[in-house]
Amino acid sequence: MPELPEVDALVEFLRPKVSGDFVTRTDVGELSILKTVDPPLEALAGLEITGVARSGKALIIEFEGLELVCRFARAGWIVWHDLVPTGPVKMGKGPLGLRVHLASGAGFDLSEAGTKKNASVSLVHDRAEVAAVAGAGPDALWIEANEFSRLLAGSRSRIKTVLEDQEIITGIGNAYSDEILHTAKISPFAPASGVDAPELLDVIRGVLGAARETLTGLPPSKVKAAKKRGLRVHGRTGQTCPVCGSTIAEVSYTDKSLQYCPGCQTDGKKLSDRRMDRLLK
């Protein structure tokens, strides 16, 4: 799932390419992607793109008086075209969710791999009309230390859960929360209320900031692979920790898994893998 650093890289890529250009047409490839009906997508035709921004993990294309809010879910992303294909779009077939044509001849798609279609597009007057944006907590890069301390102190959840909860702090998902906790040498299962918040916040800024620097300047098609290359524990079960040499372990859930280093994060102890526990009973 695209997280803050990847979406920031996307914003930096798109901004100079689309700002000042005009939308000529939009094609919908997947009806369920569109979450709003009024104003209709056709309202974008003829409008100038005035800016590109990020809110949490969402990408926002800005127009005078309108905002196109794109949420990527797990497998959605932007495909950029220097020359956008103008042929008809086949509905419900393939990854194309929405195609935006620009007056320059360029354009971009919101596409989503796989069979689960969870990416979404909302055309609204203000991004705050999108519940997930309005209900999001402060941005992971800009939250103040005292506010972060207060949020952690008041939590009864595990730190991994808190970092991924967009209503508490927005921008971090499964991959970068694994990376952040590995760098901070904190167990993903540690109670959030016991964590040194200012210290963890420094790590959050460091990990997200470094990822942003690595990914910014890359075209959207290269971002995912570059993100993977930069990860030290996430998705690396069974590999060697680059910090301490231990074998990276994982905890599996029904639809996802987390990775951690027992040497760096849990005093060598293995965390309970619920799926495995159930199988062994």
Q: Which residues bind Zn ion (CB under 5 A)?
A: 241, 243-244, 246, 261, 263-264
66 or 190: CB nearest Zn ion? 190
To Zn ion, the closest distance from the beta carbon of 160 in angstroms equals 17
19 or 246: CB nearest Zn ion? 246
145 or 244: CB nearest Zn ion? 244
167 or 267: CB nearest Zn ion? 267
To Zn ion, the closest distance from the beta carbon of 171 in angstroms equals 25
To Zn ion, the closest distance from the beta carbon of 169 in angstroms equals 25
184 or 261: CB nearest Zn ion? 261
Q: Are 227 and 249 in contact (CB under 8 A)?
A: no
Helix (H) or strand (E) holding 66: strand 66-71
To Zn ion, the closest distance from the beta carbon of 241 in angstroms equals 3
To Zn ion, the closest distance from the beta carbon of 200 in angstroms equals 17
State which residue has the least CB distance to Zn ion.
241
- Residues, the chain: 281
Contact partners, residue 261, CB within 8 Å, separation at least 6: 182, 233, 241, 243, 244, 246, 248, 249
Q: What does DSSP assign to residue 88?
A: P
**What is the C-alpha to C-alpha distance for residues 198 and 83, in angstroms, rounded to an integer?**
47
103 or 243: CB nearest Zn ion? 243
- Give the count of beta carbons closer than 10 Å to the beta carbon of residue 85: 13
Scored b (16 or more CB within 10 A) or e, 87-124 reads eebeeeeebbbbbbbbeeebbbbbbbeeeebebbbbbb
Peptide bond into 39 cis (omega under 30): yes
To Zn ion, the closest distance from the beta carbon of 89 in angstroms equals 48
